[in-house]
Amino acid sequence: MARAHSGDVEIEYDVHSSHDDDPPLVLIAGLGSQLIFFEDALVQGFMDRAFRVIRLDNRDSGLSSALDEVVDIAAVYAGLPSQSDFVPPYLLSDMASDVIAVLDDLSLDRAHILGVSLGGMIAQTLAIEHPSRVQSLTLLSSTSGSSEAGQPSAVALEALMAPGADPSDRSAVIEADVRSRAVWATTAHYDEDWTREYFAACFDRANHPTAMARQMAAVLCAGDRESALAELDVATLVLHGTDDRLIAPDGGARLAELIPAAELIELDDMGHDLLPHYWAPIIEAVTQLAIRSR
């Protein structure tokens, strides 16, 4: 493990490679997720294709710096008048700068970037604001920020906005996470026992009960990135599950329409998660994108 400094924020990251000169691939996790979202076996799969894999904890997740400001995310989402002057604790631009801090810490001029969900939004912002640092861009289960595409189902939104469990009650937190994940998980391959073990590992590694609202505030206050995405000049791959109920599949389709020459791959029956069943096609698609972007 290592730490990069992004202003006053510290970003935890790790690096996995067979050779230091392998092309770097940065993996950016989604809302409330830690770097262990990208399982070791998945990382090994990328290493086997000669990538130097870099995982990071976004700010306010895992072992990176956490804030303590409380955000009423339901009020922000609803756009209540009392929130009209709301300023989020940080922006997607700040989270993109955190990725730059990791690249700088590793003395890397640029890297292949793969972002999932919120991580995909951070990756988009990174490519827009720091285009010279992005070798290729892979957006998995993400969206442009448009209110007309990529919207959650009513049930998924309700689960996302549900009050959290008592943060001091380990079992309650884990079970609440398991229930939420079941709402938008890949139905055909969902494993409740594995999911419970995963969330137990997350809780034991780091527990920041108010962080997800701050990360979500950064998303909601970012607006859409559509005009900037249409001007991108970077090799781009868009991957999206056909059964994604948290970010609807038209969100991925919209990204592929916007970004010049972007390739869209729809993953049959995949929900809003990253299960082993889909690793092989994802690894292959990212590898082919890297080859094209040399």
CATH number at residue 207: 3.40.50.1820
Asked if 189 and 46 count as a contact pair (C-beta separation under 8 A), the reply is no
Mean pLDDT (the chain, rounded):
95
Q: Which residues contact 169 (CB under 8 A, 6 or more apart)?
A: none
Query: How much is the pTM?
Result: 0.96
105: number of Cβ within 10 Å: 15
Cα–Cα nearest to 12, from 61, 69, 56 = 56
Show Cβ contacts of residue 124 under 8 Å, excluding neighbours closer than 6 positions: 115, 137, 139, 142, 144, 225, 229, 255
DSSP string, 216-237: HHHHHTT---HHHHTT--SEEE
The total of structural domains in the chain comes to 1
Segments forming the whole domain that contains residue 153? 2-292
pLDDT of residue 46: 98
85 or 212, which is more confident: 212
Tokens 């010049």 label which residue?
Answer: 260
Q: Is residue 115 within 8 Å of residue 123, measured between CB atoms? A: yes
Q: What confidence tens digit (pLDDT) does each residue in 90-120 have?
A: 999 999 999 999 999 999 999 999 999 999 9
Strand partners, 113: 26, 137
pLDDT in tens, 56-66: 999 999 999 99
Angle of helix 192-205 relative to helix 170-184, nearest 10 degrees?
130
What is the DSSP secondary structure assignment for residue 133, as one 8-state letter? G
> Region 190-219: what's the mean pLDDT?
95
**Are 227 and 253 spatial neighbours (Cβ–Cβ below 8 Å)?**
no
Distance CA 162, CA 289 (A): 38
